[in-house]
Amino acid sequence: MPSPILYIGNKNYSSWSFRPWIGMRVAGIAFEERLVPFDMGNGNPAFRKFSPTGKVPVLIDEGITIWESLAILDHAARTNPASGLWPDDNVRRSRAMAISLEMISSFSALRSACPMNMRRPRAAIATTAAINADAARIQTLWDECLAEFGGPFLLGKFSIADAMYAPVVNRLDAYGFETTQASAGYMAGMKALPAWQEWEAASRAEPWIVEEDEA
């Protein structure tokens, strides 16, 4: 059977592409990567050739087109049940789903002010109460999960939840946020993953610069 095809955008900036890519890579799920870069404010018109929304990421697997990062990861987990992308027990699985959905629905102040930028030298920026509240909530969520489930990842073993928060690890690091000891340890563990390092090395080699994402 041919491998699924994962369409992604620029590795330096595309946080939504990073989520399914790192999740599937850490889980050992084979896929063909197709990078279609964006260097314009509205993405890239070429995305429409494979994406019903005109956005990335998109997974095509056995003729099925799946868009949205969490849907792609859920599909990968269901078609590869031994991957561990969703935890086996109901408590951890429900928590993984809840915090993954919170990632999608929340933290707009942090995400708007601090675009993912893998090449950005670590430096603090001026923040607002809303940005600081987002950063604090994320760390509370992380710290509670790490304490309850024992780490080193949010639900113990690497899962979809960690993939969904991977771009936030970059944001808190690159924009110089102060972190709790537990959160700092979690971030270090994420950045030590071979998959993370593969993505970061590729992002640093990219020629494209999107000025609006250079905060």
pLDDT tens-digit map of 97-154 = 999 999 999 999 999 999 999 999 999 999 999 999 999 999 999 999 999 999 999 9
d(CA 143, CA 91): 17
The pLDDT score that the predictor gives to residue 41 is 62
Three-class HEC string of the chain = CCCCEEEECCCCCCHHHHHHHHHHHHHCCCCEEEECCCCECCECHHHHHCCCCCCCCEEEECCEEEECHHHHHHHHHHHCHHHCCCCCCHHHHHHHHHHHHHHHHCCHHHHHHCCCCCCCCCCCCCCCHHHHHHHHHHHHHHHHHHHHHCCCECEEECCHHHHHHHHHHHHHHHCCCCCCHHHHHHHHHHHCCHHHHHHHHHHHHCCCCCHHHCC
d(CA 108, CA 113): 8
The pLDDT score that the predictor gives to residue 88 is 94
**pTM for this prediction:** 0.97
How confident is the model over 41-67, as pLDDT tens digits? 667 899 999 999 999 999 999 999 999
| pLDDT higher at 189 or 43 | 189
**What average pLDDT is seen over the chain?**
96
Residue 150 CB neighbours (<10 A): 11
The pLDDT score that the predictor gives to residue 39 is 73
